[in-house]
Chains A and B, each alone.
Chain A
């Protein structure tokens, strides 16, 4: 605190909370509301660094079974970083370092000896931009089960099941051998969801799955998410607060705190609660400001 200018304290009443407190003090302010009884994944004191840059500070979250948990917050608040830690996709970023623990059914997936490949076979991921493989629709679905060595009695049945599961079967059943690139953006995104569920994961991570889609395609994907909730645990990052309010059971709100000296923004958790309560009666002023559109 000694590096801080003397005027900082004098003006602290007008300054936003984030400048007056250290990041540890602020993280201690996190409001953890109603936590799911039956959890699939939990993070304990999750800190993520990219090289010397502290991206995410001390995140403690619990993801409930057969629930949709939404991660919301302004740009740079680390919500995507947290999501990508949950199936160790962050391992692929050069210089990324994770501290703390992420437990999946009680097992720390960052423990020594844990194979990230095996983690990803249980925890699937759907990306922001639809990214079908440059192959046929059929091969897009069959790829996952083939590479992970799944025992499949009848691949045709599995492909149909996955496409039905993603509400895409009726639209593509006559053109399974055609390139996936011929599909519309919304269909491509549902194909990516079908591709993910074909490997029968437990958890599906979605990184802003609708941000590249038009409103009609978005509502189809949202309907699909609600449908998939019966069988899967879903964790979704979204920029769209209405979407979080529409589909999620619980919401975690993140914010970004700039470092006083470097200006680098570190993400931290502000509030985590049932979506209904978080949107109707937020406990933290920053949550209220964000969801009422006053910042972010």
Chain B
């Protein structure tokens, strides 16, 4: 019998339609189960955390959370409370809000962006468009950038604090925190900008150069505009990491503040949202802890909102070359 005939004879109903799938035997199912467990472990913990925090913060999703300072004494409310015979101090705690933190974090983010974007984009443009790709210098910078992205945030806080001390400015002002956060996200901005520039095809650059444009004109008028969606996505993701950071700001000397920042905001003392939440969460009064839980949800919403904007920009301007 020829080999083809042997094969044909072996293909019977019993071998093909056995009613079982070898992809669904015990070992495969056990492995699949382990994969599902790994997936759900992380997701379930995160989900439980959010739900638990949301429930404990539920009584405090009100406008006071955004408009009031931390445990400020409100004479009007105190009067109302005195009429009911309760302690005015409790009421001010019950109406504690994160106004200074939210305002502070917004100022901090804008200042950070103003510092990190020009520096990061320029550095990336130099590395991608001007520097020799094969030089030892580029390779050293490359390795350093990857390492910088992994440096703990506290280290950047110390660096910025030293810098501020050398310059001789006050502790706890916006620019100090912004320097620390900008240093923190600089590697992220540089790396994502380089990736965005790299995704612009070389044909575009060559087409421009062949017309007699300079490298500078080509970068400024062709490559960079084409890379803007990628750059903004990376920058927003970097900023959304920075907005949740508390450690470097402690190093800078950010503290509790119960007043509005003064113009110009960069030199004003401010408070950061994550720090304010941290302080509230370790407060002895339960009402303040409640506010902390609500604040965590607000901070999460802010971060998710920024990430959503990044994703929308990426999808809207995604280009297939």
**Docked-complex contact A199 and B207, CB < 8 angstroms:** no
- Contact assessment for A120 and B221 in the assembled complex, using a CB-CB cutoff below 8 Å: no
CB distance from A142 to the nearest CB of B (A): 11
Whether a CB of chain B sits under 8 angstroms from the CB of A268 is no
Query: With an 8 A cutoff between CB atoms, is B1 at the interface?
Result: no
Whether B206 lies near A127 (C-beta < 8 A) is yes
Docked complex Cα distance between A95 and B134 (Å): 9
Query: Across the interface, do A196 and B211 meet the contact criterion of CB distance under 8 Å?
Result: yes
* Those of A73-103 within 8 Å (CB) of chain B: 87, 89, 92, 94-95
Question: What is the bound-complex CA distance between A148 and B201, given in angstroms?
Answer: 22
Interface flag for B204 (CB, 8 Å): yes
A-B pairs under 8 A by CB, number: 67
**Residue tally, chain B, CB below 8 Å to A:** 21
State in angstroms the CA–CA spacing of A118 and B134 once bound together.
27
B28 within 8 A of A: no
Contact A117 B212, beta carbon cutoff 8 Å: yes
Separation in Å of the B123 CB from the closest CB of chain A?
Answer: 21
Is A148's CB under 8 angstroms from B213's CB? yes
Say whether B258 faces chain A, with CB atoms less than 8 Å apart.
Answer: no
Shortest CB-to-CB span from A265 to chain B, Å, is 23
Q: In the assembled complex, how far is the CB of residue A45 from the closest CB belonging to chain B, in whole angstroms?
A: 25
Chain B, 88-138, CB within 8 A of any chain A CB: 132-134
Inter-chain contact B203/A124, CB cutoff 8 Å? no
A89 touches B207 (CB 8 A): no
What chain B residues lie within 8 Å of A195 (beta carbons)? 207, 211
Interface assignment of B217: CB less than 8 Å from any CB of chain A = yes
Given contacts A92-B206, A94-B132, whether A199 and B211 have CB atoms under 8 Å apart is yes
Establish whether residues B207 and A192, one from each chain, have CB atoms under 8 Å apart when the complex forms.
yes
CA distance A92 to B204 in the complex (A): 14
Residue of A94, A121, A127, A134 near B212 (CB, 8 A) is: A121
Q: Which residues of B contact A87 (CB under 8 A)?
A: 210
Chain B: minimal CB distance from A131 (Å): 4
Q: Are B212 and A120 in contact (CB under 8 A)?
A: yes
Closest beta carbon of chain B to A271's beta carbon, Å: 29
Contact of B233 with A by CB under 8 A: no
Any chain A CB within 8 A of the CB of B71? no
Q: Mark B195-230, 1 if CB is under 8 A from A, else 0.
A: 000000101101111111110010001100110000
Kindly state whether residue B319 has any CB partner on chain A within 8 Å.
yes
Roughly how many angstroms separate A131 CA and B134 CA in the complex, as a whole number? Answer: 26
With A127-B203, A131-B203, A134-B319: A143-B208 Cβ-Cβ less than 8 Å: yes
B contact residues around A89 at 8 Å (CB): 206, 209-210
> Does A133 belong to the interface (CB within 8 Å)?
yes
User: Does the CB pair B132–A144 fall under 8 Å?
Assistant: no
The answer to whether A133 and B212 have CB atoms under 8 Å apart is no
Indicate with 1 or 0, residue by residue over A11-43, a CB within 8 angstroms of chain B CB atoms: 000000000000000000000000000000000
Q: Are A133 and B204 in contact (CB under 8 A)?
A: yes
Q: Is there an interface contact between A131 and B206, defined as CB atoms closer than 8 Å?
A: yes
Residues of A within 8 A of B226 (CB): 134
A94-B132, A133-B222, A134-B226 known; A144-B204 Cβ under 8 A: no
Q: Identify whether the interface residues of B are mostly helix, strand, loop, or mixed.
A: helix
- CB contacts (< 8 Å) of B206 on chain A: these are 89, 92, 125, 127, 131
Task: Report A122-165 CB contacts with B as 1/0, cut-off 8 Å.
Answer: 00110101011110000000011001100000000000000000
Given contacts A94-B134, A133-B222, A134-B319, contact A148 B204 (CB under 8 A): no
Residue from B134, B201, B211, B214 with most neighbouring chain A CB atoms (10 Å): B211
Residues of B near A94 (CB, < 8 A) are 132-134
Contacts of B210 in A (CB 8 A): 87, 89, 120, 124-125, 127, 196
A150 to chain B, nearest CB (A): 10
Which chain A residues lie closer than 8 Å to B133 at the CB level?
A: 94
Shortest distance from the beta carbon of B42 to any chain A beta carbon, whole Å: 39
For residue B203, which residue of chain A has the nearest CB? A131
From B212, B222, B225, give the contact of A148 (CB < 8 A).
B212
Q: Which residue among A121, A131, A148, A199 has the maximum number of chain B CB atoms within 10 Å of its CB?
A: A131
* B209 and A92 form a contact (CB under 8 A): yes
Chain B residues with CB under 8 A of A95? 134
Q: Distance (Å) between the CB of A83 and the closest chain B CB?
A: 11
A residues in contact (CB < 8 Å) with B: 87, 89, 92, 94-95, 117-118, 120-121, 124-125, 127, 129, 131-134, 143-144, 147-148, 192, 195-196, 199
List residues of chain B with CB under 8 Å of any chain A CB: 132-134, 201, 203-204, 206-214, 217, 221-222, 225-226, 319
**Selected A-B contacts with CB under 8 Å, 23 pairs:** A89-B209, A94-B134, A118-B212, A120-B209, A120-B212, A124-B210, A127-B207, A127-B210, A131-B206, A131-B207, A133-B204, A133-B207, A133-B208, A134-B204, A143-B221, A144-B211, A147-B208, A147-B213, A147-B214, A148-B212, A148-B213, A192-B207, A195-B211
A-B complex: 6 closest residue pairs judged by Cβ atoms: A121-B212, A131-B203, A125-B210, A144-B211, A147-B213, A131-B207
Besides A95-B134, A134-B319, A147-B208, 20 other A-B contacts (C-beta < 8 A): A89-B209, A117-B212, A117-B214, A118-B212, A121-B212, A124-B210, A125-B206, A125-B210, A127-B206, A131-B207, A132-B207, A133-B204, A133-B208, A133-B222, A134-B226, A144-B212, A147-B211, A147-B217, A192-B207, A196-B211
